[in-house]
Amino acid sequence: MITLSLIIVLLASLCTYIGVKLIIPVAIKINFVDNPNNRKVHKKPLPMLAGVVFTGITLTGIFCFYRLDFLTLNETLTLAAAIILLSTIGFIDDYYKTKSKDFSPFPRLLVQTIAAFLVVQFGDYVSQIDIPILGYMELSPVIGKLFTMVWIIFIINIINFMDGLDGLAGGMAGIFSFTFLITSLLMNQPVSAFLSALMLGVAIGYLPHNFFPAKIIMGDTGSTLFGFMIGAISVIGAMKTITLITINIPLLILAIPIFDTIFVFLKRLRQGRSIFQADKLHLHHRLLDYGLSQVQVVMLIYLLCITTSASAIFILLSL
């Protein structure tokens, strides 16, 4: 399982690196670029078709896993349908950005809900949780499916919200994918391990083009895909295990973006604004305001994510 995971990482990273490199001039030629504004950090238009490459490689990987008998036909079609739906709505959002227009969050939420529903309909949902203090709780199928859907939708959006600096969301997605790969290997869960390896490879192949100063960004297409896959992997893997790790491990791995998003949501609500109204309240914006450079902010958040991820692995090893 380890050898195959490494092969998947290498192939996915190579294909992503080449694919993103090739699509940069295409995006520039057709003017599919993200234009700067007073909320964004970049000062010049940036190509944003990297997410299209991610989608193609992820779908290819999933169908390869099916051919290798690691995924059932239902699982394959479910993941593929969800990815296509999310990538389509993400692409539409990105298209609006090329016109310097805002796309309503409600169509995105609707599609995210459908994608999450597809996942739980084929049996991938949390049936029990172990919450500190409250203890172990069995969930009915209805509650379990609702909990899982909310979790996946939430993870999709927290990854999207962190896509504000060069290399930030891609690097965080890589750290999370690597951590879920390790936890999946430790728990002997091949499906979540191979999906984690696939997304780790995509992140590795993308970062050389996206780290400061970025040549391209992933756009909503890419951040939505990363968020969905990380959310789905956590459900397929750690959350479905009947032990202390049921919810604690994914929560710890994703602690930084989770608590950042909760803080921002509460702040917006206190100010009487929509939780989806864009602003500069996120952690990376506030660190920039303290005088840190883009690279320093990204490295600091990487370190925080590595710390929480390492803690999760340590807890798993100690069980």
Q: Pick out the residues of the known binding site for Mg(2+).
A: 160, 220
Virtual CA dihedral for 13, 18, 24, 29, nearest 10 degrees? -150
Position of tokens 């660190």?
Answer: 287
Residues 6+ apart with CB under 8 A from 318: none
CA 177 vs CA 40, 155, 168, 197, 274: distances in Å: 26, 13, 14, 7, 31
51 burial level (CB within 10 Å; 0-12, 13-18, 19+): buried
Closest CA to 184 of 238, 242, 249: 238
What residue numbers does the annotated binding site cover? 160, 220
The stretches of the chain forming alpha helices (DSSP H) are 2-29, 50-67, 73-98, 105-121, 141-161, 168-186, 190-210, 219-236, 245-253, 255-270, 283-289, 294-318
